[in-house]
Structure formats: C-alpha cells, structure tokens
Amino acid sequence: MRVRISAWLVLLALITFTARAQTAPSSASHKQIHRLAPSQAVALTPPMGWNSWNFFEGRVTDQDVRNAADQMVATGMKDAGYEYINIDDTWEGERDANGVLHSNEKFPDMKALADYVHAKGLKLGIYSSPGPKTCAGYAASLDHEVQDAQLYASWGVDYLKYDLCSFIPAVMEKQAPGDRAEQMRLMIAAYKKMDAALKATGRPIVYSLCQYGWDAVWEWGPSVGANLWRTTGDIQANWNSIYAILNAQAGLGKYAGPGHWNDPDMLEVGNGKLTLAEDRTHFSMWAMLAAPLLAGNDLPNMKPEVKAILTNREVIAIDQDRLCREATRAYSEGEVDVWTRHLAGGALAVALVNAGSARYSTHPFHLDLARLGLHGPLEARNLWTGETMTLADGMPLEIGSHDILLVRIAAPK
C-alpha cells in the first residue's frame, strides 16, 4: 500500500528500524514471545494467499476478487497451500447515520462475496486503518473499531490488514507533536484496540499490522495480538527493492514463530519486469524467511513459468516447515550471500544468492562449508531443478545474475 506520510517520519522510521534491528536483544526467544501473546490458533504457519494491491491497486472490483478465487483453485495454488483471498484498499464506501460502514459500488455485497470465496474452500481478507482514512483516502476505523470488527465478522472475513497511514498525521502528530515516546504509545494503543475488537467477535481472524517496521514492531507486535507485522516499507516489482528488503531481515529471525511472523511485504512474483531468476530468488528467500506468501500478480493471466514458481511445493515446504525457524544470513562473499535455515527432522536449507549484475554472473563462487558449521561431501537436493548434487568444500558454483541456488540437505554433518 502506498503510504502518504511526511518525509521526516519516513526517515525516522528507517533510522529506528536499522538501529533497533542491529541492537536487538539476544535474550529474546520464541518462548518469551509466546508468553506475551498466546496464539489465537490462526497463522500457526506463515499465511499463504493472494492480495489485490500489487497488481490492481485501486482498480480492484468484486469480479476481480472472484476471478482470483477461481484461479486459486484452477491453477493448483489452493492445493499447494494458498488459502486467503485478500482485498486491499478502495473497497470502502460511506458510513450511514448509525455509523455502519458500507462497501462501495465496486463491491455491492460483501457477504455474498465472502460466501463465494468460502464455497471454494478459501478464506477472505479485508483492509482498514486505525486512522480516519485509508492510504487511498477511503473511510477507515478510527472510533469505529468495535463496530467494524463486528461488521467484518458478520460478513465472514478471516483476515484483516490494518495499515497505519492516516493515523500518523491525524492522531500521532496532532496529539503528540515531536514526542516519539507518546506517539509510539498511541500507535500501540490503537493496534491493541482493534485486536480486542476482533477477539470480541469470537471469529478467528488473522491480524496483520502494516506500519512499515516502525519502532521495531517485531519486539511489541505479539503484545497487541498481531499474527504478522510488516518489517519494512512497501515492496516494488524490481530487484533493488526486493534485495534491499531481504537484507533488512537479517537479525529478525528470533522474533518469528507460530502465530506471529515477520512480514517483508507481499510477493511481486510475476509483476513488473522481474526476470524469472529474480522471481525465483524472491520466492525462495521469502520461503527461507518464513514469510507470509501472499501472491500479488494477475492470476487469470498468469504465465505457466510464473505458476511453476508460485506452486513449487518443495520451496513452499521450506516456508511452512513445522520447526518455524526463520533463516539467518551465514556470510557474504563478493556478490554472493549465503543463508541457512534449520528444518524439522534435522534437515538444513541453504540458499546462495548472486546479487551481482550480469557482468559478474560468470564468476564461480566457492562455497565454504566450514563457515556453515558443516563438512563435506554432502548430498543435497536442488529445489529448483529437482536434481541431487554433492556439495564439497570449496567447490566452484556458477549462479546466474540475481539467481539462486536453493538446496535441502537431509542429513547435514
């Protein structure tokens, strides 16, 4: 979602994000986070689905959402684990005399739409903001949290994306100009208020915070009932955006676990001018990060090669692995980053990302197994080719520009 906030606030958010990520306390643990916010039995693994914004933005309609649900089933994405069909901004109409929010002419009957999605064996998501307006300027939930939560539940909504947006100038800057501590208190209180309203409905609803990683949300997100929280600004369908977001995730793994996930934003696979190599790397690394896998492409017109990426079950299995351990960056050398993720049953996933431009793509990379705490030779499965390969210490590996070698080692030693 495009965020309309002041430039100084964006800069402050980025500074805070970087500083807090680098100084995150090592004592944090999954167990401590569970004590803060017991799971609501939703999002026990990272949510998978589709969101309307990356492709449709404000053009999305009821029919587009129905088409996405149809294609989720027809393409095999549902069978691969995708579940949520999420409507982003611009569905909202006006409130009536009783304060009840109605959808606009693009969405004539939200209950009927939810029923249609549910009949496909899928779930419906919706979007709002704790401020008076959404990012696109439509009616949001300030002072109507309980009313809106009850409305969503009555429609059959299963997922809420709650985007900070207008809450910043309307409440935080207005009520606490220049007072960062008080601004943060107001923000946390607003997210807690909607969490309480959602829980009061009695309906299991995934609660997704969208506030761009501001004030180290990974440290306090579970305490406001969040099941996932955005860790950075908005993703764009280009390599620089994807790679910058990937790098910003280093050090955040300790905050992820069942029912609460770091969210590096929705997938851009199949969008813009991304190459297939970039799509593979993007999807692979979001899986390594135990990130929500929310496709954002045009499902009815999806190319076969894009579908093959989004439905690669071995890569999805990494994302959904029951150990729930997010990947960590082991080391970087030249243009190549090496990430590892521990998996259930003692297996290990290893990802080698070539971030270099085309002129560097033919340089062989020599894998240093000792820096991963391993010694070879090791039998590994390439999750994109399906081939079995032997990893030996120092072996030369050719990885194309912006491409990835993603392997699963069943018995690391």
Please list the active-site residues. 163, 234
Partners of 161 in beta bridges: 127, 208
Q: Do strands 378-382 and 404-409 pair parallel, antiparallel, or not at all (unpaired)? A: antiparallel
For 49, 98, 131, 240, 337, the CA distances from 143, given in Å and listed in that order, are 30, 13, 9, 39, 46
Give the strands of the sheet with 84-86, arranged side by side: 261-263, 228-230, 206-210, 159-163, 123-128, 84-86, 48-51, 293-295
Largest CA distance in the chain: 71
Task: Name the residue among 316, 252, 250 with its Cα closest to residue 287.
Answer: 316
Judge whether 24 and 216 are in contact, CB under 8 Å: yes
The Cα–Cα gap between 289 and 292 comes to: 9
Tell how strand 378-382 and strand 388-391 pair up. Answer: antiparallel
Query: Residue 328 burial (CB < 10 Å; 0-12/13-18/19+)?
Result: middle
CB 106 within 8 A of CB 338: no
Bridge partners of 389, per DSSP, are 380
Which of 216, 297, 305, 290 lies closest to 260, judged by CA? 290
> Cα–Cα distance between 133 and 149 in angstroms, integer?
16
